[in-house]
Amino acid sequence: MKILLDEMYAGLKEYLETLGYEVLTAQEAGLKSTKDQAIVEYARKNDLIPVTQDQKPAELAELIGVKCVLFLI
């Protein structure tokens, strides 16, 4: 499973990699301060699962058939 961490979760990268996941942060992908749709499209094109706490990108992901993890805090 390959994961794309939204900006607020970049600090989880090392932890998730230790668990065996392939992880890319939004910052590493050049997506810092990028619109939600661009992030979801990037995830779709690169076969990544976005991880976010924002409702909007999660809804966009669902609309275009991209699996997404949404943390509601």
The total of structural domains in the chain comes to 1
Kindly state the tokens that stand for 57: 């990108």
Domain of 51: which CATH number? 3.40.50
Mean pLDDT of 4-16: 93
Q: What is the pLDDT of residue 46?
A: 96
Cross-strand bridge partners of residue 70: 52
Which pTM value belongs to this model?
0.89
Is pLDDT of 71 > 80? Answer: yes
Write out the residue range of the structural domain in which residue 49 sits: 2-70
Q: What is the pLDDT of residue 60?
A: 94
